[in-house]
Amino acid sequence: MSQKTVDSKAYPLKELFLDKFDVDFYQREYVWQKKQLEDLLTDLSVEFLKNWTIGDTPDKVRSYDPYFMGEIVLSYKDGARSSIIDGQQRITTFTLLLIYLLKTYGHLPLFPCADVEKAIYSDDFGTPRFNLDIEQRNNCMLSLFRNGTYTPTETDKQYVQNIVDRYNDISECWNEQINENNAVNFAYWIKEKVVFSKVWTNNDEFAYVIFETMNDRGLSLTQVEMLRSFLLANIDSENRNNAIQQFDEIVKRLVNIKLASKSKAEFEFFKMYFRGHYAEDFSQNKDSNSDFIRIGKEFHRWVRDNDKTLLGLRYSSDYIEFVSKIAYFAKQYEKINSLINERNTNKYLYLIVNNDYGFTLQPALILSAIKYNDTDEIVTQKIQIISKYLTKVLTWRIWNHWMISQSSMESHIYTLCKQIRDMDIETLTVTLNNNPIDLPSLDNAPTLNQQNKQKIKVLLALITEIVAKESKCADYMLNKPDIEVEHIWADHYEQHTDEFSDKNTFAAARNNIGDLLVLPKSFNASYNDSPYNVKVEQYFEQNILAQSLNQRKYINNPDFLRFVHNSGLPFKAYTDFKHSSINERAELYKQILLWNWA
C-alpha cells in the first residue's frame, strides 16, 4: 500500500485550468444559483477596478494586486486525472466566465484569446477536452464555447439547464464599468492574478479529511459568531444571559429562512441592516475603505470599529438596546421573506413581482424605511408603498433593456436607503412619488431575447394582473405552474411576406412585446403553430389580457368594460393581427403601466 501524501501550492487560473479534472459519481453536480454568480462577479469587478486606471495597457496588469479564490482540493490516483473533492462550483463558473469574455471581447486587439481558450478547452485528436472533463455536460459546454448558446434536450439532466442559465445570467449580472475600454486588462487579470491554492493528495479518504478540516465550523468562527462575542462582551454580567438568549434566537430564526438565491439569510440580513440603517459612506471606488465595502466583507469588525461613533454604543445599556433593535429588524426581515414565500398577490403583488424579477436588494430598501418599534400596520404600509415604487423602477428599466443586476443597482438602492431611513408614511410617500431613482422614459418597446425572457415573462404577468385586478378577476399568472411567454404570431415568415421583405425584420416584430402574452405551457403546446384566427378564439378561455384580443370580451363583461371606460386605455379587439396591431398592443401595454403609476 502506497504512503499517503499531501501537498499544496498556489497557482494562477491560467495554470490551474490547464489540468483536466473529473468528479466522482457521489459528488453533487453544478448547483450555483444567480445570487452566487452575481456575488462573484461583483467581487471580481470591484477588486479589478481598484487596480485599473484609465489608459493602462495590458503589461500594467503585472503590478495589479492578486485575488485569492480559496482552496481547490484534489485527489490524484495512479497518474489518472485529478478528482475534485472541493472546488467544482468555482471551476465551472470561471469556465463559463472565460467563455463569456472570449465571446464578448475576443475581437478586441491584444485580447489573450489563445490563453483563454487553453484554459477552457483543448482538442485531443478530435475529442473535446474541457478543464472539467465530464461527458454528460460536454455537448452543452462545447456549444457554449463555439456558439455562446445551448438548448438543453430532454435527455439532459437538470444541472445542464443550470449551467446554461448561469451562462445567460452573466450578461445580466455584468458590471457596466467593465467594458471595451478595460476588458482586455480584465481578461489578463483573471488569468494571471486570480489565484487558487491547489491542495492535492494521493488518497480520496485523506482528501476529504483535508476538506473537512478547512471547513470545520468549530475551528473557524463566522462573522455572526464573532459579532455575537463582541456584543455580549460589552454587556454586564447581570444582563448577559438574557442577551445571549435573544441573540441566539435571532440567529436561529434567520438560519431557518431559505432564500431563493441560496445565500445564507443570517449573513444577508446583517449586511442589509447595517448598510441600510447606519452606513454613511457608500463609495465603491478603488482602494475604498467605505462603510459599504467593509460591511460587505467583515461586518463584525465594522461594528467593533464604529461602536462609539456611528452606532452610539458606549454603555452596557446601549449594547442591550442594540441587540433588541437587531431582534426587531430581524423579525421584519423574516416577515418580508415570509410574505414573499406566501405569494399573496392580492395584498402584496409588487413585493412578489420584484422577487420574481430576481431582484435581491428589495428587503434592504424596505428595512431601511422601517423605524424601530413601528407597528405591524405601519410596517405593512411601508412594504406596500416601497415594493410598488421598486416595481416601477425595475419595470421601467426592463422595458428599456437596462440592467437590474445587483452590481448595476446596488449604488442606487443604498443611496435611497440612506435617504428614506426611519421615514414616516406621509414623508415616504411624497419622497417616492418624486422618483428619487432616475428612470428612463418608456420609449419604443422591449424585444424578447434569450437573456431577458424570464424578466419579460414577469413584466407581462404584471401587466396582465393590473388589468385583472381592476376588472375584479385578480389571478396572478406566475402563481400557476408551467407559464410561458407565448407569441401571438406563429413562427411562419411565409404568412407575412406582404408586410416583411426578410426574415430578420419579421423575427424582430414577432419578438416585440406587443406580440407576446403569458399563457400555460399546455396552451403553447396545443396552439403555438396555429394561425391567429384559430388562436384568438382560444384566447377567450385564457387570462384577461389574452381575452382582450377577442371581440366577445367587449360584450356583457361589465367590470372589464367599466375599467376600460374609466381608464381610457386603448383596448380593442382584433379580427386580423397585423404589424400595426403589434405596435398598438405594445402601446397599450405601455399605457397600462403609465396609468397604474400615474
Name residues whose C-beta falls within 8 Å of residue 513's C-beta, 6 or more positions apart in sequence.
445, 446, 447, 448, 456, 459, 460, 585, 586, 589
User: 329 φ, ψ to 5°?
Assistant: -75, -30
Cα 322 to Cα 325: distance, rounded to the nearest angstrom? 5
pLDDT digits (tens, 9 = 90+) for 187-201: 999 999 999 999 888
Cα 96 to Cα 110: distance, rounded to the nearest angstrom? 21
pLDDT digits (tens, 9 = 90+) for 426-436: 999 999 999 99
Which of 349, 201, 141, 366 lies closest to 269 in space, CA to CA? Answer: 366
Least confident interval from 150-159, 447-456, 574-583: 150-159
Q: Which amino acid is at 91?
A: I
Three cell numbers, residue 447: 424585444
Which residue did the predictor score with more confidence, 219 or 201?
201
pLDDT of residue 157: 79
Q: Which amino acid is at 302?
A: W
Which residue did the predictor score with more confidence, 220 or 7?
7
Cα 245 to Cα 308: distance, rounded to the nearest angstrom? 24
Q: Which amino acid is at 276?
A: G
Coil/strand/helix, residue 518: strand
For residue 348, name the pLDDT band (cuts at 50, 70, 90): very high
Which of 407, 394, 373 lies closest to 49 in space, CA to CA? Answer: 407
Cα 397 to Cα 399: distance, rounded to the nearest angstrom? 5
Round the CA-based radius of gyration of the chain to a whole number and report it.
Answer: 27
Burial degree of 127 (CB within 10 A; 0-12, 13-18, 19+): exposed
Cα 449 to Cα 429: distance, rounded to the nearest angstrom? 35
Residue 432 CB: number of other CB atoms within 10 A? 22
- The answer to whether residues 497 and 457 touch, using CB atoms and an 8 Å cutoff, is no
Coil/strand/helix, residue 346: helix
Per-residue buried b or exposed e for 150-170, using 16+ beta carbons within 10 Å of the residue's own CB: bebeeebeebbebbbebbbbb
Averaged pLDDT for residues 27-45: 87
pLDDT digits (tens, 9 = 90+) for 389-423: 999 999 999 999 999 998 899 999 999 999 999 99
Handedness of CA 533, 537, 538, 539 (dihedral sign): positive
CA angle (196, 199, 201) in 5-degree steps: 155
The residue length of the chain stands at 598
pLDDT of residue 177: 94
Cα 134 to Cα 88: distance, rounded to the nearest angstrom? 11
Which residue did the predictor score with more confidence, 29 or 156?
156
Name residues whose C-beta falls within 8 Å of residue 219's C-beta, 6 or more positions apart in sequence.
213
pLDDT digits (tens, 9 = 90+) for 118-127: 999 888 787 7
pTM greater than 0.85 (yes/no): no
Distances 548 to 555, 565, 594 between C-alpha atoms, Å: 11, 14, 19
Q: How far is CA 516 from the centre of its chain?
A: 24
For residue 559, name the pLDDT band (cuts at 50, 70, 90): very high
pLDDT digits (tens, 9 = 90+) for 424-481: 999 999 999 999 999 999 989 999 998 899 999 999 999 999 999 999 999 999 999 9
pLDDT of residue 155: 84
Least confident interval from 41-45, 123-127, 364-368: 123-127
- Quick one: which H or E segment has residue 79? none
Three cell numbers, residue 10: 498556489
Handedness of CA 94, 100, 105, 109 (dihedral sign): positive
Count how many Cα atoms sit within 13 Å of the Cα of residue 530 in the half-sphere of its side chain.
Answer: 15
Cα 267 to Cα 256: distance, rounded to the nearest angstrom? 12
Q: Rounded to 10 degrees, what is the CA torsion of 175, 195, 220, 240? A: -30
Cα 101 to Cα 174: distance, rounded to the nearest angstrom? 11
232 pLDDT exceeds 90? no
